[in-house]
Amino acid sequence: MAVYPASSLLTEPTSAWVLNVANMKAITDNINALTADLVLARADLQAYPGVDHAAAQSTNIDDALQAIRHMIAEIGGETLWYTAPGASLKVHDHSTGKGGLIPWGSLGTSTARKVELHPEYRGAVLTKSLRGASPSGNNNITINTDIDVVSYVGRHYYEGISSQATLQDYYLALRFTLPIDFSAWASSNAIQIEYRTGSMLSTDCHVDVYVYKSGNGTVVTNTDNNTNTTWSNISFSSSQLGSWSANDIVELYIKLESRNSTYARIGKICFNYTA
């Protein structure tokens, strides 16, 4: 550590003050000592900031700078906290002696991520046709929104219901941009769509789902004639969805079909992925 002069008190300059060799040496010594502390601030054999320093050594500036180094060292995982970090703040790989930008993944072992959408979904519209195709012509169906409370759990939902004798249909189309930290789909439940129908007979009501990647002309995967009189999930696995990247856009077309006043409902949509 830097050693300061025995006395740093100099005579206050006046218009008649003469700069002599002794004063110049005192000023130089003080500047050198402060500079040394600011640059080094280490290697005084103290175990941690706050321990009294040896005689003739600075204390306040050393403690502050050493405390900063100690914090950086703990973040970066350095063994010798009083040494300078061995990497820039933008290059960080958690190896010994490097402090820097800490990735989200370092805060825990899990990279699992989930995005939940509840009706009315942001970015969703109602349409009579599948991705711009001609409407079926069987679109005499009412689309409602409401809340279904089961065992004190309230689910928001879209509902398609028709009193016609033949199946009537309508689509809910949703666009979802994959987050910037998206790396890959979760293996078994990459996309989950909550649904419920008023009958187990697909000839009375059902839910169909079609998954597209924006910019691609063919359907990625789909499932038809889903029925369940209790809330359940339509799920797609990563193997069904294939390879995607951050900022890719998922286009979901969810078809609600109904006749004879039996309903088809859809609730929460989950996108599960790893970062």
pLDDT, tens digit, for every residue of 194-253? 999 999 999 999 999 999 999 999 999 999 999 999 999 999 999 999 999 999 999 999
Q: Of 2.60.40.1120, 2.60.120.260, 1.10.3720.10, 1.10.10.2520, which CATH number belongs to 112-274?
A: 2.60.120.260
pLDDT at 110: 76
pLDDT at 118: 96
The percentage of the chain sitting over the pLDDT mark of 90, rounded to a whole number, equals 58
User: 86-103 b/e with 16+ CB inside 10 Å = b?
Assistant: ebeeeebeeeeebbbeee
Hey, where are the domains in the chain?
Answer: 21-102, 112-274
Local confidence band at 10 (pLDDT 50, 70, 90 cut-offs): low
Local confidence band at 109 (pLDDT 50, 70, 90 cut-offs): low
Which tens digit of pLDDT belongs to each residue from 78-92?
A: 555 444 445 544 444
The percentage of the chain sitting over the pLDDT mark of 70, rounded to a whole number, equals 62
pLDDT at 217: 94
As a whole number, mean pLDDT of residues 94-113 equals 60
Which tens digit of pLDDT belongs to each residue from 24-57?
A: 776 677 666 655 554 454 445 444 444 444 544 5
* Beta-strand relationship, 191-197 and 264-274: antiparallel
Identity of the amino acid at 97 = G
- Report how far residue 259's alpha carbon sits from residue 160's, in angstroms, rounded to the nearest whole number: 10
Q: Which stretch of 9-18, 134-143, 215-224 has the lowest confidence by average pLDDT?
A: 9-18
Contacts of 33 (CB under 8 A, 6+ apart): 2, 3, 4, 5, 58
- Asked if 141 contacts 236 with a C-beta cutoff of 8 angstroms, the reply is no
Higher-confidence residue: 134 or 99?
A: 134
Average pLDDT, the chain: 80
Residue 18: how many other CB atoms lie within 10 Å: 8
Asked whether the predicted pLDDT for residue 103 surpasses 90, the reply is: no
* Beta-strand relationship, 142-150 and 249-258: unpaired
Residue 59: how many other CB atoms lie within 10 Å: 12
Chain centroid to Cα 111, Å, comes to 10
Local confidence band at 268 (pLDDT 50, 70, 90 cut-offs): very high
Chain centroid to Cα 87, Å, comes to 25
The structure tokens 């998922």 sit at 250
- Report how far residue 124's alpha carbon sits from residue 252's, in angstroms, rounded to the nearest whole number: 9
235: which 2 tokens?
């799920």
